Amino acid sequence: MTKTIATQPFDDQKPGTSGLRKKVPVFQQPHYVENFVQSIFDALEGFEGETLVLGGDGRYYNREVIQKVIAMAAANGFGRLIVGQEGILSTPAASHIIRKYKAFGGIILSASHNPGGPQGDFGIKYNVGNGGPAPEKVTDAIYQRSKAITRYKIADIAAVDIDTVATLDVAGMTVDVIDPVADYAQMMEGLFDFDAIRKLFKSGFRMRFDAMHAVTGPYAKEIFEHRLGAPDHTARNYHPLPDFGGHHPDPNLVNAKPLYDEMMGPDAPDFGAASDGDGDRNLIIGRGIFITPSDSLAMLAANAHLAPGYSDGLKGIARSMPTSGAADRVAEKLGIGMYETPTGWKFFGNLLDAGMVTICGEESAGTGSNHVREKDGLWAVLLWLNILAVRGESVKEIARKHWEIYGRNYYTRHDYEEVDATRANRMIEELRAKLPSLAGTTVRGMKIERADDFSYHDPVDGSVSEHQGIRIFFEGGARLVLRLSGTGTSGATVRLYVERYEVATGRHDLETQAALADLIAAADDIAGIRAHTGRDRPSVIT
């Protein structure tokens, strides 16, 4: 039986960089989840009898929301729902399942790299039929609907057993509870040379993968240890936990410090990697060398043809605007297109669908390709492994040679987290007002060429997205970018991105922060970050 329940809008259900993210207690308010899910359904058209994919990263409150969505999907008229066993699907696996089973769309429950637990974060994201995050016109429609909602529909049913792989009938809707790993692992076998990687492990190659007690654990165990023959304990922290073991599942150099320390230590394995809460990010560390995500994108693009899935070469590369220009040099050399998009994976979808690009990446440890429509942490790790197996060189050798060919983009990101939102907004507004007067001025001996607020014109559908980040370009190719995060849940996070290019014949062995010190100081001179935030240093440096 379907119930129609009267309700009232919440005023804070505006999706951010990737979906709606709030603290768990916010989601636990009566009707909060239901209102947002009904707003998603109300914003869509033509899903009667169609398939919906559902899964999450296993964080606290995942199971409760899974049950609500099942009951609401049935009441709203979906014909079939595919849900990962125990409510689990990594973000890239969900994207793949949507595509493979030609679903109408999918609901992914995750706050990605944000902490979990009863006082941690939760999130709900809608993905469209191409497997990718809903584009802005859909997220805007969802938000508008959330402000006007007066009722939601839900089937009056007992909790559905999601712990056993089975096909069930739930209030007239078919529910398929599936193994969350199998389809994904099979796709990876099709893209990469598993024989070559198996040989690599057989030869004694050692790898460490930190799943950070988040969703990639079961995927990593199955793929690296069972299918590729890596030794037991290659995957660490592989048990997904609702609170991620109390840790922060963001694989940056602060949260993944144990892995970093091991990789820099005397008995370091050959290769280290980590992923985030929902499995779409990757951190890559070779023995004695951290590879920035921007460099990783460039190096993967330059070597992708060594993997069977990319042996025909790449059609083009896309990167988010704050990501370094390292990949641009690869695209130039390959003679393929290069596209610069705003932050967030949703902007890559059109380019991928149109066949204009094959590989995409973001400086925030996101890399992916046209195999799905999300960034994909394990995919990036497997592509690295495939390249290492074929080239027979260390990560360090590959990086050094890359810089000798293309030059090096020294790059860092400084995050000021949980800053007072009013002060952060004021900082950006003041900076924006100053932009027209910056060109031609000199800061710390460096001349500013131009400065703007990035706006993106989608070459496929013509849509325009404005205010996507302040850019300040210096003579000689150095660049500063400042923007506010759209994924945080308390206060504001200021992100400062700093980049300087060193030619192929230049010095590539400088320490990154030292190499960028003048630019970092210039950023504070120009934007007054310390004065505005009241902080004397960033919370996280990557």
**358 belongs to the binding site for ligand VG1 (CB under 6 A):** no
* DSSP state letters, 262-317: HHHSTT--SEEEE--TTS-B-EEEETTEEEPHHHHHHHHHHHGGGSGGGTT--SEE
Site residues (CB under 6 A) for ligand VG1, limited to 107-126: 112-113
Given 13, 15, 18, 474, the residue binding ligand VG1 (CB under 6 A): 18
Residue nearest to Co ion (CB): 112
Distant-in-sequence, close-in-space partners of 103: CB < 8 Å, separation ≥ 6:
50, 51, 52, 53, 82, 97, 129
**485 belongs to the binding site for ligand VG1 (CB under 6 A):** yes
Q: Which of 112, 275, 294, 296 is catalytic?
A: 112
The smaller minimum CB distance to Co ion, of residues 51 and 95, is found at 95
* Nearest distance, CB of residue 108 and Co ion, angstroms: 10
b/e 47-65 (16+ beta carbons within 10 angstroms → b): beebbbbbbbbbbbbbbbb
* Nearest distance, CB of residue 114 and Co ion, angstroms: 9
Given 86, 262, 276, 328, the residue binding Co ion (CB under 5 A): 276
| C-alpha closest to that of 542 among 291, 171, 279 | 291
* Nearest distance, CB of residue 66 and Co ion, angstroms: 18
**280 belongs to the binding site for Co ion (CB under 5 A):** yes
Site string for ligand VG1, 492-511 (x = CB under 6 A): ---x----------------
* Nearest distance, CB of residue 127 and ligand VG1, angstroms: 11
Active site residue 112: yes
* Nearest distance, CB of residue 430 and Co ion, angstroms: 32
Given 42, 280, 458, 499, the residue binding ligand VG1 (CB under 6 A): 280
**84 belongs to the binding site for ligand VG1 (CB under 6 A):** no
Q: Per DSSP, which regions of 133-191 are E strands? A: 151-155, 166-170, 173-178
The smaller minimum CB distance to Co ion, of residues 55 and 269, is found at 55
* Angle at the Cα of 395 from the Cα atoms of 390 and 398, rounded to 5 degrees: 70
Amino acid at 1: M
Distance CA(296)–CA(539), nearest Å, equals 23
β-strand 207-210 against 235-236: which pairing, if any?
Answer: parallel
C-beta separation of 141 from 46 below 8 A: no
SS3 332: helix
Residue nearest to ligand VG1 (CB): 112
SS3 209: strand
Amino acid at 342: P
**350 belongs to the binding site for ligand VG1 (CB under 6 A):** no
Q: Which residues are catalytic?
A: 112
Would you tell me which residues interact with ligand VG1 (CB under 6 A)? Answer: 17-18, 112-113, 276, 280-281, 320, 343-345, 362, 364, 366, 485-487, 495
